[in-house]
Amino acid sequence: MRIIPAIDIIDGKCVRLSKGDYNTKKIYNESPLEVAKQFEDAGIQYLHMVDLDGAKAKHIVNYKILEEVASKTNLQIDFGGGLKSDEDLHIAFESGATQITGGSIAVKNEEIFTNWIQKYGSEHIILGADAMDEKIAISGWQEESNEELIPFIQKYQQKGIEYVICTDIAKDGMLEGPSFDLYEKILKKSDSSLKLIASGGISTFDELPKLKILGCEGVIIGKAIYENRISLKQLETLL
């Protein structure tokens, strides 16, 4: 199971929110590059970077940060937040993203998101399936859609999607543990080729082996690292 630390960016700084609420913003470091280098020094190979300004603006904003981290580390970065157009995607990949995550766009413009899968290949496009009460949430989680979580994932699997990041918004940033039952349900009801990446609520190191046993392909860890609930030294034992 891949260990994927998260860096969320507002105003060029490394921050975390609780349940996606921008009013709960807490700045952890002025320099995302410094944080990324700490991850790399611990042997971590992957990074989940979210452009929270972009999610609000509905277009890519913090691509210069992406470019800096991609050019000054060897981390493989998946980048999301506000990617809505072919131009946004072009900028993200040109700036050094290995993969991009599309969430709202997959709900609001199925045609463009499907074209991305076909154009860039399923290894480079991740479906962001972020949900509240098993309904997909969009626009930086500010809005709920009518899309049911599991049928939404199944639909895109039929269109070739392999990687899915699923965040239970109620758990995100709360340090109360991840949605084990939800991930188990998704994996049972999805095609076996699904590479499910768990996100949201990770609070202790002991939760990680449980996610691996469930069959998660990766796990995104944010606040638990920043609040020293899980140390980089502990994560090194899983790499």
Task: Mark whether 88 is an active-site residue.
Answer: no
Active-site option among 8, 53, 88, 168: 8
Structure tokens at 194: 């699904």
Any idea which residue has 């700084």 for tokens? 13
The DSSP secondary-structure symbol of 147 reads E
Task: Using alpha carbons, list the distances in angstroms from residue 153 to 65, 187, 212, 215.
Answer: 30, 10, 20, 16
Task: Give me the catalytic one of 53, 78, 88, 130.
Answer: 130
Burial 175-192 (b: 16+ CB within 10 A, else e): beebbbebbeebeeeeee
If you compute the radius of gyration of the chain from its CA atoms, what whole number of angstroms results?
A: 16
For residues 221 and 3, is the Cβ–Cβ distance under 8 A?
yes
Active site residue 191: no
Coil vs helix vs strand at 34: helix
CA distance 120 to 71: 21
Active-site annotation, residues: 8, 130
